[in-house]
Structure 1
Amino acid sequence: MAESIVGILLNNLDSLTKSELSLLRSAESDMESLSSTLTTIQAVLADAETKQFSDHAIKNWLAKLEDVAFKADDILDEWATDESLAPHCSCSCSCSLFNCAKFIMSRHKIAKEIKTIRERMGEIAEERSKFHLSNHQITQMNRETSSFPNEPKLYGRDMDKENIINSLLESQNIGGDDDVSVFPILGMGGVGKTTLAQFVYNEERVVKQFDARVWYCVSVDFDVKKISKAIVKDVSGTECRPDDTLDNVQVQLREALSGRRFLLVLDDVWTDKQELWNMFKNSLPFGAKGTSIIITTRLQIVTDIVGTAPAYELSPLPNDDCLLLFQSYAFKNVGDQANKKFKKIGRQIVEKCGGVPLAARALGSLLRSTRELGQWERIRDSEIWNLQAGKEDTILPALRLSYNYLSPQLRQCFAYCSLFPKDFVMKKEALIRIWMANGLIPTDERTDLEVVGNEILNGLLWHSMLEGTKREDDDGNVETCRMHDLFHDLASSILKSHCLHLESGSARALHIPDGARHFSVTSGIDSELHINHSTQSQQSLRTLMVNNHQYHIRPMLVDFTHFTCLRTLHIAGFKLSKLSSSIGDLKHLRYLSLIRSDLKSLPKSIGKLGNLQILNLAKSIDLRTLPKSITRLRSLKHLDTRYCFELKGMPNGIGSLTALQTLRYFKAGSEERGFAGIRELHGLNLLRDLWIVGVGHVKSVEDAKGACLMSKTNLSKLRLWWKMLDSHDEDVKSRSREVLECLQPHPNIKVLEIAEYPGAEFPTWMQMGDPLSSFPTLVELILNSFRNLEEWLLDWKEKESLPTLQSLQLSFCPRLNSLPEEICNLASLKSLRIANCDHLISLPHELTRLTSLESLTIKDCPTLRSLPCLAMQGQKSSLRLLDIFRCKQVASKLELQHLTALQALRLQDCSELKFSIQDLDYLTALNFLTLGPSIDLPESVKARVFNMFSKHNLKSWSRYY
């Protein structure tokens, strides 16, 4: 990781020298010299990072370099912080004289420290000569593969093999003579892409279909000339001359392939350069119709560039198949498969492999040589990365190749993820912000750091080093992600003692090891937790994260004042009722999260945290006030007080925090009690996520206009909560409509939520006529608790209104009796949820026009009388989930036979609803089925359903009585 911190340090040095900070002349010279020395060292770091695994001296040299580099980064950050808070004084009073003198002394102190760092770094630079390090990029190790499978049998991939073969064979009759079909196989390292491709390549039906077949292992270097030469040799049997130009080679390639239908497998492709792929593919359209290419890769971006068909993504193997693979190695040529003890431990080992065949095969091979039960138990209880060098060659090279291919920025962000527990689901938003707080994202004045962070996250997803667990949208953006265990082991082995996560169990005292820079602990105890630390750990720690999943936990006892280098401090779930005023001494702190605490207030000293970018106080339900000093946090970008129900309001002056991008739970109408009013939002034009509660307390139209929501072009999420008012008061209804009229957001809005609105009708911009149809990017619309709304009027003149709307939720509208037919014009709508609408009688009749609809939920609508047709014969339905719950007057017959994509069906407490049990035969994709007691099933039909359970592989079949 030395390469990463040196890069960060050089970037920070460059930023400081270009800024207008007041430098002492000697310090300026030292900084220039330090920058030159670091540049010299940086040139050999790629080679050193690779050789450290086999050379302990180089490893120690890198450790020394890292320590000095981190210390230098702390000093430069302290300098920049002091400068930003420096007194702009005329020295006209004793207080100003004291502050100016204090600042000058600080400058001299930092200048001396920079000199020491420069001298120490010079010594380290001189040491590098004895290691004979190369000053060029190390060529990455290529993994040689062949077309012949290493496995005698394909475990758990028969269906995958058939799917790919069928796609290959079907492509023979599609497209023109010059078309080349490209089938990418995508998956993380070790999941079995190469093995699957080998079995497809050697399948008899495939061999007969093609005139020629070529297998080529590409690995990291996508050399067009080299690949072309190999194909010529395989197809024609003749070798190209060593001095042949690329043009000459490609002429020979065309001659060799002309008129022939061939299959080319390019295994282990890494290149994301479109021009290289185009150069290669343009030489191939000379084969016969049906020519195909199979590509295996770990990178999503590769499939996007090369594929003519969607990527075939391999999932981890089921444990039973993985176990068979493991046993084929562990018990090979040994007749002890029947030994129950070994088989039991073997199954437990396989469960740790996470369905990765590479891991199962490596561990099986390792254990094949021993029949000592204790050894098997030790392997079961060990971490894979702790295996001795030489025994890990079948696992770590594949994983390290993924890691080594990353840029330094991606490497450090990847390794940092070892701070979280295994299988921990990381929220994208929080993860990127923690990376930012620790300086892991390179700064660029022209680019927003969160945009760069999102690119880094996507890069890790493309490399399959992170796995998306929840998608935000159709573009593939993720909301949450996790790291596979094997990659977690790799990340942990990289940072080792510098980045640690511990599960405290029942321990009440934890010790932070010396040298740890990032430390996290998950506690489950119901008593006091003490965190002990040494002077050295105080000076090095940059991240401290403590999570507790218990409620009503007693205080965590730790003195934070000594952790002067902290960038990130996260405490969750502890009974923290008071925060020491010494928190203000953590001048490097960027990220402060105190969620689910018992805090009632924050100390005034928090206003001294000039570098603080993120302040998260969510779910601190006793929090009542924020200090006025918070308005001095000019670097603050994200302030989150969600579900702080006792919070009286934001302090006056909150509008001066013009860097704010997130402001959740801004309490409106509080100015009369001395808090900020809604007008303070006027200048916060960088806001992206705004949540206003208590909108009903806004007193005038002028105040609402003063928020200037229409001018906030960056705003993508807006939530307006009215809070409970007298919904029968006519003045309240009228004023609420007028206020909402003035809170119209900019057309760039993507998520809009309005809750507890007491008005009887929408404002003009909410009636979805021409004004709202100009919201071209709206993705989600949530309307909750409109207690006086009787009719929803739409005046769409265009059928393409709200072209991007994917989710519509309507709930707790007790007077609403129908929905407008124009809803059926929402061509992109995927999810429609209607709940707790007590007087709703009917739904739009033409729901069949919602061809993109995947989820339909209708709950607690007791007066709903009928359901419209959901799909017509011959129409392709996208509906995957249908949930009808507690709609007791629905007397329609539900036609299910055309809902062939349906995966989940719940019909419960709908006593009058009718449907034909035979329709279930058509639901071949069905995985989950719930039928409530009101659905009367004779015994013969119950048997039929159980048969379908087996036939359709239902994962869940429930009956509630």
Structure 2
Amino acid sequence: MEELGKNMVRHCGGMPLAIVVLGGILATKNSLNEWQLVSKNVKSYLKRGKGQGVEDVLELSYDDLPPYLRSCFLYLSHFPEDCEISAKRLIQLWIAEGIVLSNQNKGNGEEIVEDVAENYLIELAERCMIQVGERDALLKIKTLHVHDLMRDLCLLKAKQENFLCIIDHSSGNQFRKDISSSTIRGVHRVAAHVFPQVQCIKNPHLRSFLFFFEVWMHQTNALTDPRMIKRVNYILEHKENLDLVSCIFILWTKYILWRSWTYMFNNFKFLRVLYFEGRVDDAGIKLPCDIGNLIHLRFLCLKDLSFIMPKLPASLGSLRCLQTLDLRVQRIVYLNGDVGGPIHVPNVIWRMKQLRHLYLPQHCDPKTKLKLCTLRNLLTLVNFNTRNCYVGDLHNMMNLRDLQIFGSFHIEDFEDLGKNPAILGNNNILRSLTLTIESIEIPDPRHLTHLIFGCANIYELRLVLKIGKLPEYHHFSSNIASIYLRICNLVEDPMPTLGRLPNLRILKVREDAFTGKEMACSAQSFVKLDFLSIYRLHNLEEWKVDEGAMPALRHLEIFECKNLKMLPNGLRFITNLRKLEIGWVPKAFKDKLVEGGEDFYKVQHIPSIEFHRCG
């Protein structure tokens, strides 16, 4: 098999990508016969093609995909070149399109569909069809991208199989001529990388429409003067006069946007996916009520769209088939055209009983009060708070995996925390918990302790709030692999508590998470810590690391700790440390660490040391 492999590598013409992809194909083969078949196919593709090596091997890699992976791969053609793709978002799109279905495993019950899709993603990575970007604390794929040559293959196959139509700069005038032709009428998917003439699309059977607004914003800005937009926004809020030409011009552009919305909502009634990516500072006056016509929608993402009127339509309640709903829209409120301010969400989400992923606006107005107790299938809940939602509804979400609380968090119903059940009921599958309260409001520490104690199996914890003191060690899940702390204003050193967590791999202590002057990591603490980031601890002066602490640490970041006198002597005992990054510290601090400096002995074993804006 070794000699056979060498012969196949020779056919790759020394191209690294071709060799890697070929290795991905061979990794799925378990016998000599299968390897021989691959070798035969490689020779066949080279003879059939022009002997270009990498292109032929890439085409073979696609043809070698099992049927259930082909549509998953082709779906990547939606995304623009060099796009960093969120794995979670991609999986949600796959599921909404029906590309990935749950598996029925005898004896093991039904496997959750998101886990099936995650396995597909892993298989594409193992076959080198995608390139992995970030990984989470459990080393699962968090982001991914597609190599340029692999993307060219993806686009070619998508076109050959009539998988989708892409509207981009290359479409040019030809697209304007063909947009209503059979080219677009015969596809079920459209991806717009520039601002499209939506009204020209005559395809009532369209199933998905994906917008990527980085380019669309450039196009709309070319049509309008930003200064004029600010002036018309001022008029709409204050009902004052503006010169007639400016007012008509800006109102006309807003009318075009409104027509685009209403045309989509009235003519593409079979849509299953409506997706927007990228910030759009002026998406029109409001979201039209006609959105309620899209009763087949499985996926709706309105993230970072900004409207003048802050009230979402009650017709959203008609979208009973939704699986993913992202309502993180914003409101244009300031005279300079900035965005912000509260959004009113009607109390209709409880009707969407098939919801699996719900993203609420960060700021809802005081009149918003949402009943969510019917959402028993929910896996993701983002921007939950007790001002606009009922804390008791969390008790019914038995499948919740990711809970992100933003804003107020009070548990009036849990006066006697010792006798009441866990806030999350008997949920034992919650993986990630985020609590963000960026205000002077300080939650009751008993509530925080009770919430964390009820999360028995989480692996990721993010705390962005003033708490003064961490809960005791035994209140934390032993499974926690990642902790992020910011503005916690901890008076006591958190390291003795955090260092006892047996599976902690990532620790980020950011911006006034700790307000004390001394921090210490004792021997035998942080046994699995791989990455440590210390950032903007303004009062920190001394950091001690005992020999035997953090034995697995590979990457250390220290930024803007300007009162820190020196690096701990104990760093020299961490032999696995491979990268040290230091930034925004006095020049004298840096000079001690460079070769010839008095503290160089502490870091001389580290292969990569980077300094950023020191001195």
Q: How high is the TM-score relative to the length of structure 1?
A: 0.50
Is 1:832 aligned to residue 532 of structure 2? Answer: yes
Is 1:863 aligned to residue 563 of structure 2? Answer: yes
Alpha-carbon distance in 2 for matches of 1:821, 1:218: 46
Structure with a larger share of its residues in helix: 1
Alpha-carbon distance in 2 for matches of 1:632, 1:658: 12
The answer to whether the 8 A contact 1:840-1:861 is kept is yes
How far apart are 1:699 and its partner, in Å? Answer: 4.8
Secondary structure at the counterpart of residue 94 of structure 2? helix
Of 571, 576, 579, 1:877 maps to 576
Q: Residues 706 and 654 (structure 1 numbering): CA distance in 2 closer, same or farther, change over 3 Å?
A: farther
What amino acid is the match of 1:792?
Answer: D
Alpha-carbon distance in 2 for matches of 1:867, 1:746: 35
What amino acid is the match of 2:143?
Answer: T
Specify the alignment match of 2:242 in structure 1.
none
Alpha-carbon distance in 1 for matches of 2:38, 2:11: 20
Specify the alignment match of 2:228 in structure 1.
none
Q: Which runs of 5+ in 2 are unaligned?
A: 105-109, 222-252, 331-339
The answer to whether the 8 A contact 1:500-1:519 is kept is yes
The root-mean-square deviation of aligned C-alpha atoms, in Å, is 4.1
Q: Residues 396 and 565 (structure 1 numbering): CA distance in 2 closer, same or farther, change over 3 Å?
A: farther
Specify the alignment match of 1:747 in structure 2.
456
Q: Residues 406 and 631 (structure 1 numbering): CA distance in 2 closer, same or farther, change over 3 Å?
A: same
Specify the alignment match of 1:606 in structure 2.
316
Secondary structure at the counterpart of residue 882 of structure 1? strand
The answer to whether the 8 A contact 2:519-2:543 is kept is yes
Is 1:562 aligned to residue 277 of structure 2? Answer: no
Specify the alignment match of 1:514 in structure 2.
185
What amino acid is the match of 1:488?
Answer: R
Specify the alignment match of 1:31 in structure 2.
none
Q: Residues 269 and 748 (structure 1 numbering): CA distance in 2 closer, same or farther, change over 3 Å?
A: farther
Of 503, 507, 514, 1:803 maps to 503
> What's the CA shift string for 1:574-613, capped at 9, x where partnerless?
4224222222222221000111112423211111111100
Is 1:449 aligned to residue 159 of structure 2? Answer: no
Q: Residues 619 and 782 (structure 1 numbering): CA distance in 2 closer, same or farther, change over 3 Å?
A: farther
Report how many aligned residue pairs link the two structures. Answer: 539
Identity %: 21
How far apart are 1:418 and its partner, in Å? Answer: 1.3
Specify the alignment match of 1:584 in structure 2.
292
> What's the CA shift string for 1:787-838, capped at 9, x where partnerless?
3x32136777x98633343324243146322224348601111222222223
Q: Residues 647 and 921 (structure 1 numbering): CA distance in 2 closer, same or farther, change over 3 Å?
A: same
The answer to whether the 8 A contact 1:679-1:703 is kept is no
Is 1:638 aligned to residue 357 of structure 2? Answer: yes
1:456-495 map, 5 Å: 456-473=120-137, 475=139, 477-495=140-158
1:949-960 map, 5 Å: none
Q: Residues 647 and 880 (structure 1 numbering): CA distance in 2 closer, same or farther, change over 3 Å?
A: farther
Specify the alignment match of 2:325 in structure 1.
615
The answer to whether the 8 A contact 2:486-2:510 is kept is yes
Q: Residues 647 and 785 (structure 1 numbering): CA distance in 2 closer, same or farther, change over 3 Å?
A: same
> What's the CA shift string for 1:904-941, capped at 9, x where partnerless?
xxxxxxxxx8545x999876x448555734xxxxxxxx
The answer to whether the 8 A contact 2:380-2:400 is kept is yes
How far apart are 1:442 and its partner, in Å? Answer: 2.4
Specify the alignment match of 2:92 in structure 1.
433
Specify the alignment match of 2:435 in structure 1.
720
Is 1:779 aligned to residue 481 of structure 2? Answer: yes
The answer to whether the 8 A contact 2:539-2:563 is kept is yes
Secondary structure at the counterpart of residue 840 of structure 1? coil
The answer to whether the 8 A contact 2:545-2:571 is kept is no
Specify the alignment match of 2:392 in structure 1.
679
Secondary structure at the counterpart of residue 435 of structure 2? strand
Specify the alignment match of 1:302 in structure 2.
none
Specify the alignment match of 1:127 in structure 2.
none
The answer to whether the 8 A contact 1:428-1:481 is kept is yes
The answer to whether the 8 A contact 1:866-1:892 is kept is no
Q: Residues 402 and 638 (structure 1 numbering): CA distance in 2 closer, same or farther, change over 3 Å?
A: same
What amino acid is the match of 1:485?
Answer: D
Specify the alignment match of 1:531 in structure 2.
198
Secondary structure at the counterpart of residue 204 of structure 2? helix
Alpha-carbon distance in 2 for matches of 1:701, 1:442: 40
Alpha-carbon distance in 1 for matches of 2:533, 2:190: 43
1:270-419 map, 5 Å: 390-391=49-50, 394=53, 397-419=56-78
Alpha-carbon distance in 2 for matches of 1:683, 1:823: 43
Q: How high is the TM-score relative to the length of structure 2?
A: 0.76
The answer to whether the 8 A contact 1:502-1:522 is kept is yes
Q: Residues 491 and 914 (structure 1 numbering): CA distance in 2 closer, same or farther, change over 3 Å?
A: same
Specify the alignment match of 1:664 in structure 2.
382
Q: Residues 815 and 522 (structure 1 numbering): CA distance in 2 closer, same or farther, change over 3 Å?
A: same
What amino acid is the match of 1:784?
Answer: R
Specify the alignment match of 2:80 in structure 1.
421
Alpha-carbon distance in 2 for matches of 1:914, 1:619: 53
Higher relative contact order (CA 8 A, sep 6+): 2
Alpha-carbon distance in 2 for matches of 1:756, 1:403: 48
How far apart are 1:891 and its partner, in Å? Answer: 10
What amino acid is the match of 2:432?
Answer: K
Secondary structure at the counterpart of residue 545 of structure 2? coil
How far apart are 1:614 and its partner, in Å? Answer: 0.4
After the TM superposition, which of the residue ranges 405-414 and 622-631 deviates more from structure 2?
A: 622-631
Q: Which runs of 5+ in 1 are unaligned?
A: 1-142, 157-186, 195-216, 228-265, 271-296, 299-357, 366-388, 727-731, 898-912, 934-961
The answer to whether the 8 A contact 2:375-2:397 is kept is yes
Q: Residues 618 and 822 (structure 1 numbering): CA distance in 2 closer, same or farther, change over 3 Å?
A: farther
After the TM superposition, which of the residue ranges 736-745 and 405-414 deviates more from structure 2?
A: 736-745
Secondary structure at the counterpart of residue 432 of structure 1? helix
Q: Residues 872 and 425 (structure 1 numbering): CA distance in 2 closer, same or farther, change over 3 Å?
A: closer
The answer to whether the 8 A contact 1:618-1:641 is kept is yes
Q: Residues 650 and 409 (structure 1 numbering): CA distance in 2 closer, same or farther, change over 3 Å?
A: farther
Alpha-carbon distance in 2 for matches of 1:723, 1:220: 49
Secondary structure at the counterpart of residue 197 of structure 2? strand
What amino acid is the match of 2:130?
Answer: L
Secondary structure at the counterpart of residue 825 of structure 1? coil
